[in-house]
Amino acid sequence: MDFELNDAQKKLQQACRDFTDREIIPSARENDATERFPEDILRKMAPLGLLGALVPAKYGGAGLDYISQAIILEEVGRGCSSLRTILSVQLSLVEYSLLKWGTDAQKDTYLPGLCNGSLLGAFALTEPNAGSDAASIRTTATRKKNGWEINGSKTWITTGGRADVLIVFARTSPEEGHRNIAAFIIEKGTPGFRSNDIKGKLGLKSANTAELFFDNCLVPHEAMLGAEGEGFKIALFALDNGRFGVAAGCVGIIEACVEASVKYARERVQFKKPIASFQSIQDLIARMAVDRDASRLLVYRAAEMKNRGLKNTAESSIAKYFASEAAVRAATDAIQVHGAYGYSNQYPVERYLRDAKVTTIYEGTSQIQKLIIGESLLGVRAFF
């Protein structure tokens, strides 16, 4: 078992770290405060291959492996979780779903634009009454002579109000359960499709989040991704990748907490000496470091299994569960290290906490992750 990154991965890590320090961190606070979508930074990421990390070169991607993707998402997450969640959706949920399930025509049509930044993707599964219970979605797809007519709504869709191409899940039969769900590729501007941005979020403020509405939205037959009835399988496949991406981003949050806390503890003087010398401060920072390293190793384990084509649902859930909860712990402790200053936006640690909390909710709550892990151990399914 080799824990050392290879030369290409080390170069990628340094390039991503430099980009984050130069392009992402300086504007992260203002983008958060104004809820400004970081479109300019996304454009700068494209020439570096960051928007198409896993996609083969023939479609315009970088052709990297999952360890490399984890490195990218960690470094971007260290600078701005809003930007990381946008990137995670693009890479893990949209592009890789197209790679796995798309026809040649669908791949040729969408992947080059997603990789070069001319197209932004979104993944539309969640509905007002279907969150953790994704099999209970109510959006319908009715077969027509000239295509499929989509009716229904989605909510909490990252980049939903900005995306050019969306993977949308709908029920092709009124029968309940997961066997009658299909996935469709729907383009921005399709008649009958509209979005409404969601404001007032606790965190991820510069990542667009939207409600989607479909009113007799007609898409051609060839817009279906995969076969009829394969939608739920596609969703689960995508969520395995999405949880992996969230976990990698959480490592970045924890690393940012460590860096900010170490810097502040060395500079802040109380009782005539730096607070870094206080045992209680060292205790807080030591726990952050342990959580960071443990989270990173869990992410890399899942990444290596993905690289080898092994089933990794439980391992991705373990990484997501541990890293997301650890990110909340680290951000809470980082605020404690900063004292009253940590409670204001004068320092970034309050943003780290606001951004970290949602990672225990989206892509499957911590409670859902534990049920997935439990099923892998016990062989008994707790739901559906």
- For residues 249 and 72, the answer to whether their CB atoms sit within 8 Å is no
Average pLDDT of span 43-51:
94
Confidence of residue 384 (pLDDT cuts 50, 70, 90): low
**CB under 8 Å to 210, separation ≥6 — which residues?**
157, 159, 160, 161, 162, 195, 196, 197, 198
Q: Is 1 part of any domain?
A: no
Residue where a domain terminates, one of 103, 120, 137: 120
Each residue's pLDDT tens digit, 143-176: 999 999 999 999 999 999 999 999 999 999 877 7
Average pLDDT of span 84-109:
97
362 has a pLDDT exceeding 90 = yes
CATH number at residue 223: 2.40.110.10
Same-domain status, 186 and 142? yes
- Residue among 28, 30, 35 at smallest CA distance from 201: 35
Residue-range definition of the domain harbouring residue 113: 7-120
- For residues 169 and 183, the answer to whether their CB atoms sit within 8 Å is yes
Residue where a domain terminates, one of 86, 120, 154: 120
134 has a pLDDT exceeding 90 = no
pLDDT over 90, % of the chain: 94
Report d(CA 120, CA 98) in Å as an integer: 13
Instruction: Give the active site residues.
Output: 363
Same-domain status, 351 and 289? yes
Q: Where are the alpha helices (DSSP H) in 186-312?
A: 231-267, 279-307
Confidence at residue 173, expressed as pLDDT on a 0 to 100 scale: 87
CATH number at residue 89: 1.10.540.10
- Number of structural domains (the chain) is 3
Same-domain status, 209 and 238? no
Q: What is the mean pLDDT of the chain?
A: 95
Same-domain status, 274 and 354? yes
Q: Is 193 part of any domain?
A: yes
Confidence at residue 213, expressed as pLDDT on a 0 to 100 scale: 98
325 has a pLDDT exceeding 80 = yes
Same-domain status, 225 and 105? no
Q: Is 2 part of any domain?
A: no
**CB under 8 Å to 74, separation ≥6 — which residues?**
248, 249, 251, 252, 255, 296, 299
Helix (H) / strand (E) element for 211: namely strand 209-219
Same-domain status, 271 and 369? yes
pLDDT over 70, % of the chain: 99
- For residues 139 and 154, the answer to whether their CB atoms sit within 8 Å is yes
Average pLDDT of span 67-80:
98
Confidence at residue 221, expressed as pLDDT on a 0 to 100 scale: 97
Q: Is 384 part of any domain?
A: no
- Helix 81-88, helix 349-357: angle, nearest 10: 30
Other C-beta atoms lying within 10 Å of the C-beta of residue 362: 18
